[in-house]
Structure 1
Amino acid sequence: MNSNDILNDIDKKILLGRQLGVFNNPLGQKLLQLYGHGILDPWAIGQINKRVDKQLRKEAFSNLPFKQPQLNTGELILGTDENSHRPVKAFIQYLNAGSLLVANTGSGKTTLVSFYAIQIANHVKGMWLVDLRKKESRLLMPGFAQRGIDLTVVRSRKFKINPLQVPFKVDPYEYASTIADVLVKVLNLPPRASVLLSSTIIKLYKKFNVLNGSPKYPTLFHLFETVRISKTANSQARQAILDNLEAILLAFGTEMLGCYRGWPVHELAKRHMAFELAGQPEAGKDLVLNYLVVAELISRVSRGISNRGMDLWMSIDEGQRLFSQRRESTGYGGNSITDLAGLVRGTGTGLFISVLTPDDLSNKIPAITSTKIMGRCGSISEYQAAGQFMGLNKEQVFWCAHHMVPGMFVGQVGDGPWRYPFLFRVPKMKQLKIVTDYQADESLKSLDGLDVDPVEFSNWSAVECITVKGEAIDDKQDTVQLTNSEFRLLKAIVDKPMLPSSDYVKLARISPNTLTRLRPILIAKGFIREHIMDSGNRGRSKRVWEPLEAAKQAIAGSDNNGGT
């Protein structure tokens, strides 16, 4: 039997009216009390019918397939309801459970995030605004200043961090394993590299007396050197670490990573920060962001923080590549932030992720974010995928595909009694004042009080350099600098010339990726000449390498100087 069969007309009107939110005012509450006590005179019945019919008529003429949101309380204004043009409000703590924003370029994502950040700033101890592609969060400095809050902007080359620095209250043994896994994922290393990294980091902690409480930590440069001289380590894992870590160290240098003690992450979590990662290599962005987020999360877990209200809000803009499903599938373990993001609610950390499209988005992200927001997308398939995250029906999806404009969004809050999707607009922001690089760097003075211990070396090279001397035409001494990998490959070519290029991977003890990278370098330096030879089969032609006189002189000069 259908449950509606036992309901009379007034019962159905009451149920419908509750869904429509027509009984939320004081008189509406009195009508519900009369209904609950069975006191239904003609006046009360007329008032109930009038309220419900009026709202039904209003929604029918609005031509919007979304219900009017019953979100009237809270510190955070999400936007303006498209039906009633009244503010849609929510409690800031709703964001403690994580948020996901899907909208294409030009849809108003940055405006929405800025609108929320300005409101949230006074309600949290710390805020991290992460710009992976742009430099727009710095524009909020004047707005924050008007509210008595200092926004510290860290430009891409101004970081002072040490990923091997043990976070506050975290056991060094535990952190060695954690940061080893982070490096494996960030650098896309084979799984065996995790064991080598973890054991090497623990050895370095013992060497630097970290296990006994020393505040001086080894750096990634020390890690690189230790792995390089570990000749007995697994060759594949060792070479992969050297090849991939080398690129990071050369890109960042001691300017960013050269600190025995960098900025304490738990201190940064008490400040309002704008991290600008634009201009860094992709692996570098992953390293910086993974380290900061993972270090703070495991520190909070180690401190026993549980079920705390949100006191740190993290917004990651343009996180498409960072939270890629393809990277998780084809790589060696995915993303450390994704793995730990499920902890954010219990530790009082709100994570707000913004992406351009749901295509290739990690399946874990919708599962660990409770509040969902969708803006204008580029195709019907994107509307369908993003709409599934918040339970949109077919009519709502097709309406969005034909009516969404910049500044208009569909939202669903992650907490409270009203969980239906609703349509709202975010107000346009006034023209913001430009914040120069000088002003951004001046804001860094607020971090001068943090205890930072720089390394002693300033001209460190991430690779061994072999000096090769030979006679030039003008009888002057020419000096050629070869990296360790270049020297091994060049020596293998000189010792065994005219072999297929793939043979030198084993002879030079380098990876195929390193071979591909060094080929144009050696050709450009005039060390080798490449010949294309027909294999005589239906397969590909072979590339064979001929060592030129410069290569022979370089190797001979190196041997005379003591070799490697």
Structure 2
Amino acid sequence: MSESGERPRPHEVEQLQALMERVGESEDRMAKLLTIASMDAETYADLRELYEQQAARAVTKDVFYPYEVVDGPVGIGTDPDGRRIGLTRDQVNEHLLLVGMTGAGKTTFFYNLMATAVGHDVPFLVFDFKNDYRHLVQHQDLLVVNWRDFKFNPLQPPPDVQPGKWGEILADTFAHATDLLIGSESYFLDQLRRIYELYDTAATDQYPSLFELRDLVAADEIRPASPRFKYKERVHSRLSMMTGFSGAIFDCSQGYPIDALLDRNVVLELKEPNQYVTNFVVEALLTWIFYYRDAMGQRQKLRHLIMFDEAKRVFDVNRSRQPASGYPPIDDLVGKIREFGEGLVVADHEPSKLSDSLKANTTAKLWLTLGSGTDIQEMAQTFGLDPEETEFTRTMQKGEGLFKLADREPVPIRLPDYELDKAMTEAEIRARMAPELEALPVQDRVRPDRFNEYLGITSEAETADETTPVGEIAEALLASVTEMPFLSISKRYEAIGVGSKNGTAAKSELVTLGLVREVTVPTGRPGRNPTLLELTPVGRDVLDERGYDVPETGRRGIVHRYWQHQVKEYYAAHGFAAELEFAVGSQRIDVYAERADETIAIEVACSPEHEVTNIEKCLDAGVDTVQVVTIEDAVRDRIQSAVQERFGHVPDRVVFKPISAFV
């Protein structure tokens, strides 16, 4: 360069201009600065050093230069130059899709968005499948509702929605959430209309619950040769599953006032219920909110947000492309609910498995780091990226992403962090929320005389006194539950020597008295999910009173114990010596199998809770193989992620098997 005090050469000024263009300097400012720099070498040198530093910081961003200006008031991050990226309220109302692998920053994004929503006076409902958000009560005014405390009767229509109309809507939603086809959906709707008539819902405030609907279906006498018998079995199986382990959610005639909760910041924890129950709760609540807003005529701009991760639970591309099951009602809802000021913010780590409708109906999209090539290509197509731009996404680190509005160019984005102490336990959050939840109005389940008469149950039989009167057949059926816990209902009738009609009547009597509950065991194989009977604490007391030996089952539910039994029988049939609840110091292994020089520790994982600790326990026992048997793919994925986080990888001795291998 020329000496100090001299002017820079023309090619040097051109180089400075190129640097300015590279970092996005405005034309007016560039012209002024170049004029000054061209007259003094020292000024030129200072400006060149400044713009070289800026260009160095922007080297990985060139492919998207010049950056789109997205500066709405709802801030979500910054662009590579540190400029704020934000959405308008209208854009938030038109839904946002967030994709990224585990650990990419999705949960942190939700933390920050919830805080931003509070600042903009926009209440929200968060469906929490991992118990991640309870810790925010330290920072925000939240009502955190654990599923064990939640009360929701999906058979109760929104205000000003007629039961007949709601029945058709609910049947469609129930069928989609539980994978029922059109014939079973039609049968479900017929039974729903019948129970609404028995309760006279058009003239009273009393509503049946899923428990009463299940009993109505069970009492429906259909010849096994009839095609409707299969529909009945499928619907009854789904209802039994809903009213089983997670049945406390639906154990009410009138649940929490959802309309009032829409004015609060609410987190609904749904980690433990099985996938069918969780999907149904989410889809039924989304549907309830939409038809409530519609009935109230509440068409306006952004008024409420609904947020959740693991969006493919609801917006599954495979289900949306199955003609036999019809067009998913929830997909249709996505495009309509925005009219009523409801904005959706949903996330997933596998965008290739999300429905086309969700991707088409989300105006804003945020792409964080992805691990799968299939998912990267899916998002590249959605964003309209060329190969060079797609390659940029492979360099993104945690908290970095690519943001795009419809009909706008993508912008690299840096998300803010969120410091949070995750120390809140389930017991602590439930105790903290109890006073608020106890203040919410709830109506217990009711059974009108007309309903009981239809089922052939006298009103006196519905109320159990201290001696709990039970018929002879019902007592035999009750005793068989403790003596032969893993028999299906039809096999149980055979075991006590009664036909289907008398057996069903006895079972209904036991269910009505609260002595047993029906539980459907998921097997991972359609049509092969047995329904079992499980003793309630009241049922155990009744058998004790009558002198029966009732073994302790601990905290294990019937589904977990059923699969322990099945796994043990499987290995025994293959030449292993197998033992349940095998003691390892003060701890126990679900199933321990040994043959010659081979040892296997098997843990049955109905949910992800505590499974990493169980795996460590088995590894410490020194077995050859630790086998984790999972009922749902989602549970397997979450355990695998937790294991990788704990160990840095999945240990060679740890293998995962689906429960269907033991059917």
TM-score surpassing 0.5? yes
Q: Verify: 1:169 aligned to 2:160, yes or no.
A: yes
| Aligned residue in 2 for 1:314 | 306
Q: Verify: 1:136 aligned to 2:120, yes or no.
A: no
Helix, strand or coil for the counterpart of 1:250? Answer: coil
CA shift, 1:436, in A, is 2.9
Equivalenced residue count is 456
Q: What is the letter of the counterpart of residue 105 of structure 2?
A: G
| Aligned residue in 1 for 2:360 | 367
Cα contact 1:131–1:278 (8 A) shared by 2: yes
1:408 to 400, 409, 422: 400
Cα contact 2:74–2:89 (8 A) shared by 1: yes
| Aligned residue in 1 for 2:337 | 344
Helix, strand or coil for the counterpart of 1:445? Answer: helix
User: Residue 356 and residue 465 in structure 1: after superposition, are their counterparts in 2 closer, same or farther (change >3 A)?
Assistant: farther
Cα contact 1:80–1:425 (8 A) shared by 2: yes
1:424 to 394, 397, 413: 413
CA shift, 1:409, in A, is 0.7
Q: Verify: 1:207 aligned to 2:198, yes or no.
A: yes
Following the alignment from structure 1 to structure 2, what is the Cα–Cα distance between the partners of residues 284 and 138? 21
| Aligned residue in 2 for 1:468 | 476
Following the alignment from structure 1 to structure 2, what is the Cα–Cα distance between the partners of residues 117 and 96? 15
1:42-66 deviations in Å (ceiling 9; x for gaps)? 989979xx99xx9999669624211
User: Residue 247 and residue 471 in structure 1: after superposition, are their counterparts in 2 closer, same or farther (change >3 A)?
Assistant: closer
Q: Verify: 1:22 aligned to 2:26, yes or no.
A: yes
Q: What is the letter of the counterpart of residue 290 of structure 2?
A: L
CA shift, 1:425, in A, is 0.9
Helix, strand or coil for the counterpart of 2:528? Answer: helix
User: Residue 523 and residue 388 in structure 1: after superposition, are their counterparts in 2 closer, same or farther (change >3 A)?
Assistant: closer
**Structure number with higher relative contact order (C-alpha < 8 Å, ≥ 6 residues apart):** 1
Q: Verify: 1:244 aligned to 2:238, yes or no.
A: yes
428-437 or 270-279, larger mean C-alpha shift: 428-437
Q: What is the letter of the counterpart of residue 125 of structure 2?
A: W
CA shift, 1:488, in A, is 4.9
480-489 or 347-356, larger mean C-alpha shift: 480-489
User: Residue 209 and residue 154 in structure 1: after superposition, are their counterparts in 2 closer, same or farther (change >3 A)?
Assistant: same
Q: What is the letter of the counterpart of residue 487 of structure 1?
A: R
* Structure 1 outlier segments of 4+, above 6 Å: 42-47, 54-60, 457-460, 469-472, 491-494, 515-518, 520-525
Following the alignment from structure 1 to structure 2, what is the Cα–Cα distance between the partners of residues 313 and 384? 29
CA shift, 1:68, in A, is 4.8
Alignment of 1:549-560 (within 5 A): none
Unaligned runs of 5+ in 1: 1-12, 32-41, 145-149, 473-477, 495-510, 533-564
1:463-516 deviations in Å (ceiling 9; x for gaps)? x985438999xxxxx96676633335658999xxxxxxxxxxxxxxxx951469
334-343 or 290-299, larger mean C-alpha shift: 334-343
CA shift, 1:269, in A, is 1.3
CA shift, 1:304, in A, is 2.5
CA shift, 1:412, in A, is 1.0
User: Residue 262 and residue 385 in structure 1: after superposition, are their counterparts in 2 closer, same or farther (change >3 A)?
Assistant: same
Q: Verify: 1:97 aligned to 2:94, yes or no.
A: yes
Cα contact 2:393–2:401 (8 A) shared by 1: no
CA shift, 1:347, in A, is 1.2
TM (norm. structure 2) is: 0.61
2:213 to 214, 223, 236: 223
353-362 or 198-207, larger mean C-alpha shift: 198-207
Following the alignment from structure 1 to structure 2, what is the Cα–Cα distance between the partners of residues 171 and 471? 43
Following the alignment from structure 2 to structure 1, what is the Cα–Cα distance between the partners of residues 120 and 243? 38
Helix, strand or coil for the counterpart of 1:309? Answer: coil
Q: What is the letter of the counterpart of residue 179 of structure 1?
A: L
TM (norm. structure 1) is: 0.71
Following the alignment from structure 1 to structure 2, what is the Cα–Cα distance between the partners of residues 275 and 265? 12
Percentage of matched positions with identical amino acids? 22
CA shift, 1:344, in A, is 2.3
1:251-309 deviations in Å (ceiling 9; x for gaps)? 223x3211110012222211111111111111110111111111001111222233x11
Following the alignment from structure 1 to structure 2, what is the Cα–Cα distance between the partners of residues 118 and 458? 49
| Aligned residue in 2 for 1:558 | none
Following the alignment from structure 1 to structure 2, what is the Cα–Cα distance between the partners of residues 176 and 55? 66
Following the alignment from structure 1 to structure 2, what is the Cα–Cα distance between the partners of residues 124 and 390? 31
| Aligned residue in 2 for 1:436 | 425
CA shift, 1:335, in A, is 4.6
Following the alignment from structure 1 to structure 2, what is the Cα–Cα distance between the partners of residues 381 and 156? 34
Cα contact 1:154–1:444 (8 A) shared by 2: no
Cα contact 1:176–1:201 (8 A) shared by 2: yes
2:491 to 486, 493, 496: 486
2:148 to 157, 172, 179: 157
CA shift, 1:218, in A, is 0.8
| Aligned residue in 2 for 1:192 | 183
Cα contact 1:210–1:217 (8 A) shared by 2: yes
User: Residue 492 and residue 469 in structure 1: after superposition, are their counterparts in 2 closer, same or farther (change >3 A)?
Assistant: closer
Q: What is the letter of the counterpart of residue 374 of structure 1?
A: W
Following the alignment from structure 2 to structure 1, what is the Cα–Cα distance between the partners of residues 478 and 189? 43
User: Residue 450 and residue 45 in structure 1: after superposition, are their counterparts in 2 closer, same or farther (change >3 A)?
Assistant: same
CA shift, 1:310, in A, is 1.1
Following the alignment from structure 1 to structure 2, what is the Cα–Cα distance between the partners of residues 100 and 163? 27
2:118 to 118, 121, 134: 121
| Aligned residue in 2 for 1:294 | 287
Cα contact 1:141–1:151 (8 A) shared by 2: yes
Cα contact 1:269–1:312 (8 A) shared by 2: yes
